[in-house]
Structure 1
């Protein structure tokens, strides 16, 4: 294989991206290069890209940051179906403690 072969394969892969009109020129070029280099179809590459983005966003804490700022929970809380306070019993204890605080 040579540089000419690579250029041809990238051009062919780029031509196959007509269904992906939402991609900008740079994204189309990068996706075509990945498709040619990895010998993978576009849909598979997009699935992989979503997994990589999700994993890196989770590992760096950016997902939790955005979830916490928008929804007030973390990804772990979402997966478990309850907040950390609920897991520790903090919410129930505080409510019952507040209810009994002024009773004599």
Structure 2
């Protein structure tokens, strides 16, 4: 898969989510959501869902977990997705730089 495949999949998933998300909560999740609602007092419970997704996403980016999964499934990283081009495209396929035989720097 490629960067274009990833972009298409994200756009399709975003469209599928729509304006509402209907989910069933298990007992543990319902209890945790109730605790967070009481402690953080959001205007709506949906706000906690948004915050939770932001935190999970940021953690996945910070730990490299997102890059690991993107690399294994699409052969790209999150940075490549953001820039719209692969690392090879950015560097012209020249990374790492070819070793230069520059013996002159050691001559006196």
CA distance in 2, matches of 1:20, 1:68: 30
Q: Point out the more displaced range, 45-54 or 20-29.
A: 20-29
Q: Which runs of 5+ in 1 are unaligned?
A: 1-18, 92-104
| 1:65 is the counterpart of 2:72 | no
**Structure 1 length as normaliser, TM-score?**
0.66
Runs of 4+ in 1 over 4 A off after TM superposition: none
Give the superposition deviation at 1:21: 5.0
Rg comparison, structure with higher value: 1
The answer to which structure, 1 or 2, has the higher relative contact order (CA under 8 A, 6+ apart) is 2
| Alignment: residue pair count | 73
Higher helix share: 1
**1:29 Cα shift?**
0.3
